[in-house]
Amino acid sequence: MKKHLKQLAMVTAVASMALGGASAVSAEEVLRFATWNSSENLGILQEISKRFEADNPGVKVQVESYGDGYDKKLIAAFGAGNPPDVMYMWNYPKYHSSLMPLDELMARDAEEMDLEDIPAGLINITRVEGKAYGIPAGFTTHVVYYNKDMFAAAGVAEPVAGWTWADLRAKAAKFRDKASKTYGFAVEAKPDPYDYEQFFWSNGTRFIAEDGSTVDGYMNSPEAVEVLTMFAEMAKNEEATVLGIGDNTSGSALFKGSKLAMFQSAMWSKGGIDKAGINYGVAMLPAFGDKPVHSSIGASAMSIAKATKNPELAWKFVKFFASPEAVKLRENDLPIRTSVAEEMELTSDPIFQPFFEMLALSDRESNAFLKHKNWGKIQTNLERAIEATMIEKGNAKKHLDSAVARSKRHLK
């Protein structure tokens, strides 16, 4: 998952009555559950479903794996008026009008669900216009992987808590070796804007106003210019290699080949790095001076179709999916429950701890795609500005101002 696609309706009175009641589940009911997972991850979901069936005799959970065609199949199902009852979800602006808002249910069952055990930031990323449309299933924050052997060989001190971008740049410069084509870091010319906003947040700005009204003064703010300029300077000074220009070698491949001392990524890179046998450490994202650091949160969540014929059963399954029992089974995800993470000793493990530390710092902001229906068009202009800045290794303000000017028509 190197790149991932990113990116509303009260419950009817009848549905509210059904959800508020304590009616028993009728016999031989089928609950359809759609997921994008396959192979090993699919097996985990099937096991969770079997356990739910065991607790609810007469219920059959039909796990539907849509794979790479997830969005296309989901859109077709909603269009045909036959959506799955529950589903994995991430693009709430696109689907929220077809989903059931869950705030009233969460309030009703807050004690049973122990919602205090689920970090608020994971639920907030499911909110559109203040309403939550999902219960978290798994998450990742962003970190910096670093090659311990390369650091030792170069005599460079490993990253420590509270480090800054100035610290990273000083370390990165010591790894540049033209003969072996080795670099200390990598910067993206074509980043996923969903993740890239974390750098703007950490420098005290954002892509778009909180109310979605304008990008002027945000996307092209002095703080935004500083972010792009810094990355361009890193490329110009050869403190970093630029990804996405020229060949298609990924940062992950360079890191796994010991050609990159530090690699900024998320949980989805860990499996490949483990298989490569790299002796690595994990550090939190560096800060811009003394400003609070912030990570984007990549998370999947469980949502309920507004059209489900059995909202009570669907909600019961979603609650079970968020239970400690089910969370422990999803070993390929970082656990959404603090208690489970602590029980598994992940919050004290030096490899996993930074992910949770970043999560604790990252509940202050929501992503731009949640703030405006035309964000997909606006971000295209931002992408062009970032790429042009990295190609030219400068002129960030010119390119960001141009992106703002081209985006104004989409904000009307």
- Summarised one tens digit per residue, pLDDT across range 335-365 is 999 999 999 999 999 999 999 999 999 988 8
Q: Which of 38, 48, 379, 345 is nearest to 194 (CA)?
A: 379
Contact by Cβ (8 Å): 187, 205:
no
Same domain, residue pair 259 and 406: yes
In a domain, 223, yes or no: yes
Q: Is residue 8 part of a domain?
A: no
Domains contained in the chain, number: 2
**How many residues are recorded in the chain?**
412
253 shares its domain with 198 = yes
pLDDT value for 99: 97
Judge if 258 and 175 occupy the same domain.
yes
Residue 66 lies in a domain: yes
- The pLDDT, as a whole number, for residue 364 is 82
Last residue within a domain, chosen from 336, 355, 390: 336
**Rounded CA gap, 166 and 32, in Å?**
51
**Do residues 192 and 131 share a domain?**
no
pTM: 0.88
- What per-residue confidence (pLDDT) applies to 281? 98
The Cα 252–Cα 275 span in angstroms is 12
- Rounded to 10°, the helix 39-55/311-321 angle is 120
Where residue 239 sits, what CATH number does that domain have?
3.40.190.10
Domain span at residue 253 reads: 142-296+369-411
Which stretches of the chain score pLDDT less than 70?
A: 1-27
CB count in 10 Å sphere of residue 368: 26
Buried b (16+ CB within 10 A) or exposed e, 40-51: ebeebbbebbeb
Q: What DSSP letter does each residue of 197-225 carry, written as one string?
A: HHHHHHTT--SS-TTSS--TTTTTSHHHH
Residue 339, number of CB atoms within 10 A of its CB: 14
pLDDT at 68 (0 to 100): 85
Per-residue pLDDT, 1: 38
Q: For residue 394, give the 3-state DSSP assignment.
A: coil
Query: Are 122 and 213 members of one domain?
Result: no
Same domain, residue pair 259 and 405: yes
